[in-house]
Structures are given as structure tokens and as C-alpha cells.
């Protein structure tokens, strides 16, 4: 990615969020560029697949333990561990592929070709990037804190008072391997989510700047109006091509991560709501915070961008200076521009299955709450049954 990291400030101030991220990858040994020496690339690839192998070992171990000794008291924890390992392995693989194919340089080149250097909303844009960078730093710092605190709590035996299944999930050797893998792969996970949200947020601000230009379109002369409409037509075409370029890079990543994150978050919430000991509650809070951050990072920016793109038609139809007084050429260009706006699949897709939008988030929340209520009721029924059997 070479020079593109240094010149990122030209394009939407993306450098505010991207310039410090390669350090996290370099610290764990997986950062490289396609132009690096073969030895450097081979070393980074070796580190990457070593971390993936460690994550796969824990994934297979936890899944096998969960299936062998299935118990209601440890189901949420076991599923959380399986899905967490799945997410970290997915991110490790995608980070490696993105670096190998120089995908981010392709995206930034597309931004540059589209001349997306608008200064509209400069303060809001910079503030947004700074807030995103702050939350990324906070969450990245929370990962090692969560790992250390969880290991300390389990070492004192607060979480070892259940069945043999829990003990097998958290024996000393597995716990050490899990802490090591969680730090290495968890760092990559935070980097991948931040990359995704940063690029999509850049598109959101460009869509917002485009709509602002559309609102301020009030030339009195029909010939000037035609020129402005042609300019906006070309600009929207370039914006749409950039959105599809970003979608091509991230659609599979977004699909797999959401599929893994939603059940992880749900079962972690179940664990938080069904714990009685203070140590168990403290153990659950950081992980819930991390999973909520990942979910919001995967959904908020694409939804905002999708909503902003959908506003273009409303703004165009509501601009009376375009439609009256009637001019045939202006009317033709305005209708053509409306057809360009009507692209139902323009946005960040989940591998082509759906577009990340407000209805999708509402559906996801509805399903999560329904399943959460079901499992909590199942848990209460199981506890009541045990109490009845004990009393008998």
C-alpha cells in the first residue's frame, strides 16, 4: 500500500483513521505490502496462518466439548467461544487477503478517480473520523484488558464451580492458549472492523455532500441548469462506482461477520442476564461491550450511507427550480438523474443476499430479542425443574 497510506489525507481525510492502524498489524507480525521482499511477505504469511491454526484448534476443541457434554448452564458460554473464534479467524483471513491483493489501494484509487475531495461538511467529517478513531482505540485497549481480567477471575476459581464441562472449557492449558489467541486474533478483528467502517463512513459523507449540492441547485438560466444536472449525473455515477468497489471488497466479510456476531452477542447477553456472582458479571461486561461495538461497526455506517443515498430522489423531486418553469431539456436530464438514483442494490450488501439497511437492523433486533426471551424462559424453566426435583 506504500504511498497511499501517506497520501490518504487527500481523500476524505481517511488518514485520520487509517494511518495508525497498520501499527497494530505490524506489532503482531502480519502487516506487509505486496511490494515488500519475499522474506517479509513469507514471514507475515507464516505468522498469519500460525494464528489461524491456533484459532482453529480452540474452535474445534470448544465445539467438540460443547457437543460432547451439552449442558444448559454452559451452552451460552460455549457458543460464545465458538463464534468468537470464528470471527477472529475470519478477520485474520480477510486481512491477509486484503493486503495480498492491495484491496485498500484499489479503493483509495477509486476515490481519487472519482475526484471525491469535497470540502463540504469538513468539520463534521473530521469530527466523525476522530470519534471513530477514539472508539477503535478504546475497544482495542479493552481486548487485552478483557483477556487479562477473564484469566485472573478464572484462575481464582470463581467460574470453576460448575460442571466438568465448564472445567474442560477453562482448564489451565486451554486458558493460556485462549488468552494468547484472543489477543493476537482479537487485535486483527478490531483492525478489520475499523477498516470497514472507515471506508463506508467516507462514502456516507460523500453522499451527504452530493445531496447538499443537489439542494443548492438553483440556476436561473436553463442552459446553466442543464450543465449542473450533467455535472451531478457524472458525479453520482462516480459515487455509485465507488460504492460498488467498496461493496466488492467488503460484502463477503460483512456477511460472515454478521452471521457470527449476532449469535455471539445474543448468547453473551444471556450470560450477562443469568449470572448471579459479581465476578461473572464483571467477566461478561467487557465482552458484551466489544461485541456491541463490532455489531454497530458493521451496521451503523452502511445504514447511514444507504439512507443518505435514498434521500437523493426526494431532494431532486422536491426542488421546484428544476421542474418549473418547464424546460424540455432540463426535464429530460432530471428524469435521467432520477433513474440513476433508482438503484435498489446500491449499498453494502451481505454477499448479495441483502443490503445493510434500517429494515435489516430492525429484523435482526426483533429476532435477537425473541430468541433472548425464549432462552431466558428456557433457563428459568430448567432452574424451576431442578428446584422441584431437589425438593422431591
Q: Report the pLDDT value the prediction gives residue 310, as an integer from 0 to 100.
A: 92
Q: What is the mean pLDDT of residues 109-138?
A: 68
Confidence of residue 10 (pLDDT cuts 50, 70, 90): very low
C-alpha cell at 238: 462516480
* Residue among 302, 127, 293 nearest 199 (CA): 302
Q: What is the mean pLDDT of residues 76-94?
A: 84
Give the span between the Cα atoms of 266 and 302, in whole angstroms.
21
Q: What is the mean pLDDT of residues 20-25?
A: 61
Confidence of residue 22 (pLDDT cuts 50, 70, 90): low
- Judged by average pLDDT, the poorest of 53-67, 104-118, 119-133, 339-353 is 119-133
Q: Would you call 294 helix, strand, or coil by DSSP?
A: helix
Residue 162 has pLDDT above 50, yes or no: no
Write a three-state SS string for 226-242: HHHHHHHHHHHHHHHHH
Residue 283 has pLDDT above 50, yes or no: yes
Residue bearing the bigger pLDDT, 119 or 357: 357
Q: Report the pLDDT value the prediction gives residue 167, as an integer from 0 to 100.
A: 46
Give the span between the Cα atoms of 13 and 158, in whole angstroms.
47
Nearest 10 degrees: Cα torsion 205, 209, 215, 216: 160
Q: What is the mean pLDDT of residues 44-73?
A: 81
Chain mean position to CA 366: 20
pTM for the full model? 0.82
Q: What is the mean pLDDT of residues 168-179?
A: 64
**DSSP state for residue 211 in the 8-state scheme:** H
Give the span between the Cα atoms of 10 and 113, in whole angstroms.
12
Asked if 258 and 266 count as a contact pair (C-beta separation under 8 A), the reply is no
* Residue among 23, 242, 211 nearest 133 (CA): 23
Share of the chain above pLDDT 90, in %: 22
Q: Would you call 247 helix, strand, or coil by DSSP?
A: helix
Q: Report the pLDDT value the prediction gives residue 24, as an integer from 0 to 100.
A: 67
- Judged by average pLDDT, the poorest of 144-158, 197-211, 320-334 is 144-158
Q: What is the mean pLDDT of residues 124-145?
A: 71
Q: What is the mean pLDDT of residues 52-58?
A: 88
Continuous segment of H or E residues that includes residue 254: helix 222-274
CA distances from 354 to 109, 112, 155, 344, 346 (A): 27, 28, 44, 10, 11
Q: What is the mean pLDDT of residues 11-24?
A: 53
359 exposure class (CB count in 10 Å sphere: 0-12, 13-18, 19+): exposed
Residue 209 has pLDDT above 80, yes or no: yes
Q: Report the pLDDT value the prediction gives residue 159, as an integer from 0 to 100.
A: 45
Q: Report the pLDDT value the prediction gives residue 55, as an integer from 0 to 100.
A: 87
Average pLDDT of every residue of the chain: 78
- For the chain, the residue count is 392
Q: Report the pLDDT value the prediction gives residue 103, as an integer from 0 to 100.
A: 87
Q: Is the peptide bond before 13 cis (omega within 30 degrees of 0)?
A: no
* Residue among 49, 19, 308 nearest 136 (CA): 19
Residue bearing the bigger pLDDT, 67 or 381: 67
Residue bearing the bigger pLDDT, 203 or 141: 203
Give the span between the Cα atoms of 260 and 257, in whole angstroms.
5
Rounded to the nearest 5°, which phi and psi values hold at 116? -85, 75
Asked if 234 and 328 count as a contact pair (C-beta separation under 8 A), the reply is no
Q: Report the pLDDT value the prediction gives residue 141, as an integer from 0 to 100.
A: 72
Chain mean position to CA 372: 22
Give the span between the Cα atoms of 296 and 260, in whole angstroms.
14
Q: Report the pLDDT value the prediction gives residue 206, as an integer from 0 to 100.
A: 87
> For 213-237, what is each residue's pLDDT tens digit?
898 888 778 899 999 999 999 999 9
Q: Report the pLDDT value the prediction gives residue 230, as an integer from 0 to 100.
A: 93
* Residue among 194, 199, 50 nearest 133 (CA): 194
Give the span between the Cα atoms of 392 and 181, in whole angstroms.
46
Amino acid at each position: 500500500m506504500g504511498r497511499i497510506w501517506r497520501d490518504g489525507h487527500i481523500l476524505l481525510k481517511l488518514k485520520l483513521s487509517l494511518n495508525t492502524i497498520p501499527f497494530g498489524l505490524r506489532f503482531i507480525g502480519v502487516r506487509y505490502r505486496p511490494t515488500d521482499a519475499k522474506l517479509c511477505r513469507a514471514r507475515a504469511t507464516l505468522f498469519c496462518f500460525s494464528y489461524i491454526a491456533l484459532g482453529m484448534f480452540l474452535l474445534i476443541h470448544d465445539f467438540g466439548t460443547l457437543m460432547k457434554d451439552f449442558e444448559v448452564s454452559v451452552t451460552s458460554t460455549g457458543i460464545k467461544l465458538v463464534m468468537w473464534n470464528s470471527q477472529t479467524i475470519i478477520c485474520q483471513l480477510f486481512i491477509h487477503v486484503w493486503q495480498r491483493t492491495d484491496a485498500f489501494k484499489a479503493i483509495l484509487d477509486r476515490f481519487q478517480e472519482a475526484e471525491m475531495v469535497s470540502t463540504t461538511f469538513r468539520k463534521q467529517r473530521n469530527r466523525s473520523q476522530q470519534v471513530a478513531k477514539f472508539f477503535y482505540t478504546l475497544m482495542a485497549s479493552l481486548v487485552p484488558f478483557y483477556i487479562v481480567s477473564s484469566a485472573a477471575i478464572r484462575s481464582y476459581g470463581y467460574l470453576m464451580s460448575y460442571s466438568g464441562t465448564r472445567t474442560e472449557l477453562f482448564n489451565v492449558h486451554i486458558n493460556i492458549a485462549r488468552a494468547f489467541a484472543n489477543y493476537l486474533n482479537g487485535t486483527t478483528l478490531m483492525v478489520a472492523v475499523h477498516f470497514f467502517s472507515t471506508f463506508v463512513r467516507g462514502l456516507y459523507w460523500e453522499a451527504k455532500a452530493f445531496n447538499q449540492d443537489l439542494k443548492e441547485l438553483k440556476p436561473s438560466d436553463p442552459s446553466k441548469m442543464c450543465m449542473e444536472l450533467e455535472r451531478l449525473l457524472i458525479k453520482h455515477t462516480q459515487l455509485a462506482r465507488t460504492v460498488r468497489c467498496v461493496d466488492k471488497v467488503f460484502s463477503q466479510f460483512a456477511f460472515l461477520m454478521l452471521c457470527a456476531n449476532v449469535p455471539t452477542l445474543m448468547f453473551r447477553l444471556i450470560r450477562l442476564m443469568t449470572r448471579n456472582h459479581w465476578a461473572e458479571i464483571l467477566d461478561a461486561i467487557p465482552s458484551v461491550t466489544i461485541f456491541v461495538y463490532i455489531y454497530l461497526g458493521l451496521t451503523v455506517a452502511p445504514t447511514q450511507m444507504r439512507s443518505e443515498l435514498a434521500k437523493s430522489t426526494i431532494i431532486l423531486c422536491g426542488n421546484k427550480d428544476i421542474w418549473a418553469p418547464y424546460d424540455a431539456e432540463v426535464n429530460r436530464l432530471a428524469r435521467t438523474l432520477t433513474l440513476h438514483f433508482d438503484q435498489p442494490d446500491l449499498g453494502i450488501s451481505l454477499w448479495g443476499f441483502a443490503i445493510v439497511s434500517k429494515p435489516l437492523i430492525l429484523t435482526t433486533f426483533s429476532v435477537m430479542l425473541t430468541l433472548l426471551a425464549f432462552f431466558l424462559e428456557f433457563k428459568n424453566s430448567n432452574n424451576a425443574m431442578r428446584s422441584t426435583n431437589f425438593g422431591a
